[in-house]
């Protein structure tokens, strides 16, 4: 049974790779390969990420998705989900992407945290204070994702597939790291999203599970429970403070995160 499960996981991961390379519209993973529970979904994600690393570089960070009860209810899960980010897809400063390189590009507006110390797996869960002590810097971040035209009305039936598909992550654009972040109230921080100069949404740091450090704590304990570590230098993006946006060619997206500064993305 173990061999069959491993082969099934690998086949599902390769199926996802082919879908992405061909920019196929989102469709269900074939029933013979689809994950039956969350553990299988993360196993497929592990295999998918390992295959993707050949083109996109090693894992350099993590994301958390579904940080609100409303989003969790929409997809039929009772907790957030995690994904990984690759070296060649995480960039700093102003950046640009081509909409044609994605099935359907979406962007989210987040607080990013860079780790100054690693946190390895252990039996006892990590506290928020412990994970906060390991953070070296905070910054504004734009998550780049690709839902490949997913039908959100049916997403609730495909929550495990969203997990297997690395929570749709295709990278991030990071602002300038702020090492004095401990002097700031990250929960109260006001984030403003703009497209072509017009405000399209606002949020607070508390919109990420109540506090960005709470989102980080969830990621750390998720990894620890799976026997994995958050490493020194890793980036964690903590969940969008503003609803996802679907930019068009010619758009300029800007996320202003108060004392953390701002970050921009141009879409061509």
* Inter-residue contact 146 to 64 (CB < 8 Å): no
Segments of the chain scoring below 50 in pLDDT: 1-3
The 3-state DSSP class for residue 18 equals helix
The reported pLDDT for the residue numbered 119 is 98
- pTM value? 0.94
For CA atoms 251, 256, 257, 263, give the dihedral sign: positive
The reported pLDDT for the residue numbered 41 is 96
Return d(Cα 242, Cα 45) in angstroms, integer.
26
Q: Residue 241 has which token pair?
A: 């403070």
The reported pLDDT for the residue numbered 3 is 44
Q: Which CATH number fits domain 59-267: 3.40.50.510, 3.90.850.10, 3.30.160.100, 3.30.390.10?
A: 3.90.850.10
């Amino acid at each position: 049974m173990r061999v069959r499960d491993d082969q099934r996981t690998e086949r599902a991961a390769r199926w996802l790779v082919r879908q992405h390379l061909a920019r196929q519209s989102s469709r269900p993973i074939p029933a013979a390969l689809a994950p039956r529970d969350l553990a299988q979904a993360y196993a497929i994600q592990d295999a998918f990420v390992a295959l993707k690393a050949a083109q996109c570089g090693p894992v350099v960070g993590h994301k958390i998705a579904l940080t609100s009860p409303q989003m969790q209810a929409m997809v039929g899960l009772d907790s957030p989900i995690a994904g990984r980010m690759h070296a060649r897809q995480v960039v700093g400063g102003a950046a640009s992407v081509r909409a044609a390189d994605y099935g359907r590009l979406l962007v989210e507006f987040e607080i990013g945290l860079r780790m100054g110390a690693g946190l390895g797996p252990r039996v006892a869960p990590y506290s928020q204070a412990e994970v906060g002590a390991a953070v070296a810097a905070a910054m504004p971040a734009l998550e780049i994702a690709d839902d490949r035209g997913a039908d959100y009305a049916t997403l609730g039936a495909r929550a495990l597939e969203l997990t297997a598909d690395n929570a749709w992550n295709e990278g991030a654009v990071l602002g300038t790291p702020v090492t004095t972040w401990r002097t700031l109230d990250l929960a109260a921080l006001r984030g403003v999203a703009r497209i072509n100069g017009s405000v399209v949404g606002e949020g607070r740091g508390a919109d990420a599970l109540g506090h960005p450090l709470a989102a980080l704590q969830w990621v750390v304990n998720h990894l620890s429970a799976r026997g994995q570590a958050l490493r020194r230098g890793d980036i964690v993006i903590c969940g969008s403070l503003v609803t996802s946006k679907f930019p068009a060619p010619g758009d300029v997206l800007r996320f202003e995160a108060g004392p953390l500064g701002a970050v921009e993305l141009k879409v061509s």
